[in-house]
């Protein structure tokens, strides 16, 4: 059975996957980037379902350096830097996974503008986005990876 | 930041925070959901429609974002969405009891709320994409 790793700061994606994607996948869950990388290192994961925003995560749970981000992008404003890391955490996690050699298809449930999605694909390879919790559409994205 | 950009940002937040999550379960149950729902699915529908220990009730988040939107752009009329959320709130006790007609109505309302919010965002975005500068 293919394994789907759900990465999010809450439980909404996991519940959704358990209810509507489980016949096709065994569902695993990680609630931080570090947990996700640990699971990717030890499990044969087929595909990733990633939440973009981690607005309930504490700063120490986030991948990315708050101080460095504040210095580089926000004139030393650590509040805005933390907010930025939370808002984009799914992409930071994907980047970390790719840098560790994990090339599985990643699916976001997010309404990315076309140009942003194109850039994500250039940077991180197999990336798809579905704007809503549409189980058949998400399954199509995930299963096209499984059947490849 | 321009008024149009701020309006788009707030509508995109409404679509994400309210529309996407209120319809998380509903959009996967079909137009005539089979009741009684399985207990985990009913709990998901309740969390989507009325909030949970870790998520805000959609009608409250909607009201919060509407206040911000009204301060930026009072011309955006989200009264149909407000009415839908209000009706959803009024059905809470029936949905918690897995009353079949109430569940069916909640499913329809949740999907309509998401669709309405997306339509507002699209309307707000399209003119900018199609406007060309005159020579």
Using one digit for the tens of pLDDT, what is the confidence trace for B36-81?
A: 889 999 999 999 999 999 899 999 999 999 999 999 999 999 999 9
Assign A23 a pLDDT band (cuts: 50, 70, 90): confident
Assign B124 a pLDDT band (cuts: 50, 70, 90): confident
Choose among B20, B21, B54: nearest Cβ to A56: B54
Choose among B28, B44, B55: nearest Cβ to A135: B28
Query: For residues A46 and A104, is the Cβ–Cβ distance under 8 A?
Result: yes
Choose among A12, A19, A133: nearest Cβ to B23: A133
Q: Is the pLDDT of residue A143 over 90?
A: no
- Which residue is closest to B12 within chain A, CA to CA? A111
Q: Is the pLDDT of residue A146 over 70?
A: no
Rounded CA separation B85/A23 (Å): 32
Residue with the two structure tokens 């079909």 = B30
Q: Is the pLDDT of residue B135 over 70?
A: no
A70: region left, alpha or beta (phi > 0 left; psi from -120 to 50 alpha):
alpha
Rounded CA separation B66/B50 (Å): 18
CB contact under 8 Å between B27 and A12, yes or no, is no
CB contact under 8 Å between A12 and B21, yes or no, is yes
ipTM over the 0.90 cut-off: no
**Residue ranges of domains in chain B:** 3-125
Strand order through the sheet with A127-130: A26-30, A3-7, A47-50, A105-109, A127-130
What is the interface size between A and B, counted as CB pairs within 8 Å? 42
Q: Does B115 touch chain A (CB under 8 A)?
A: no
CB contact under 8 Å between A109 and B20, yes or no, is yes
In this predicted structure, what is the pLDDT of residue A101? 97
Q: Which domains does chain A have, with CATH numbers?
A: 3-60+88-147 (3.40.50.2300)
Q: Does B91 touch chain A (CB under 8 A)?
A: no
Choose among B15, B28, B54: nearest Cβ to A133: B28
């Amino acid at each position: 059975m293919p394994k789907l790793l759900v990465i999010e700061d809450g439980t909404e994606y996991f519940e959704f996957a358990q209810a509507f994607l489980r016949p096709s996948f065994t569902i695993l869950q990680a609630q931080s980037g570090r947990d996700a990388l640990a699971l990717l290192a030890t499990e044969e994961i087929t595909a990733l379902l990633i939440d973009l925003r981690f607005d309930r995560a504490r700063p120490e749970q986030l991948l990315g350096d708050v101080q460095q981000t504040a210095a580089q992008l926000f004139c030393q404003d650590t509040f805005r830097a933390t907010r930025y890391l939370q808002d984009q955490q799914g992409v930071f996690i994907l980047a970390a996974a790719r840098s560790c050699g994990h090339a599985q298809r990643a699916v976001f449930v997010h309404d990315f503008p076309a140009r942003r999605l194109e850039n994500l694909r250039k940077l991180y390879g197999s990336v798809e986005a579905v704007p809503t919790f549409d189980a058949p559409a998400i399954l199509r994205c995930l299963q096209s990876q499984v059947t490849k | 930041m321009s008024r149009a950009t701020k309006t788009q940002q707030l509508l995109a937040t409404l679509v994400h925070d309210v529309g996407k999550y209120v319809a998380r379960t509903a959009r996967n149950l079909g137009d005539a959901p089979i009741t009684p729902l399985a207990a985990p699915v009913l709990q998901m529908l309740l969390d989507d429609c009325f909030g949970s220990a870790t998520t805000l009730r959609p009608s409250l988040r909607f009201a919060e974002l509407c206040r911000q939107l009204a301060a930026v752009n009072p011309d955006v009329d989200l009264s149909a969405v407000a009415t839908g959320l209000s009706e959803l709130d009024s059905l809470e006790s029936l949905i918690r009891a897995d009353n079949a007609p109430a569940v069916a109505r909640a499913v329809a309302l949740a999907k309509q709320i998401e669709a309405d919010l997306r339509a507002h965002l699209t309307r707000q975005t399209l003119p900018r994409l199609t406007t060309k500068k005159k020579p």
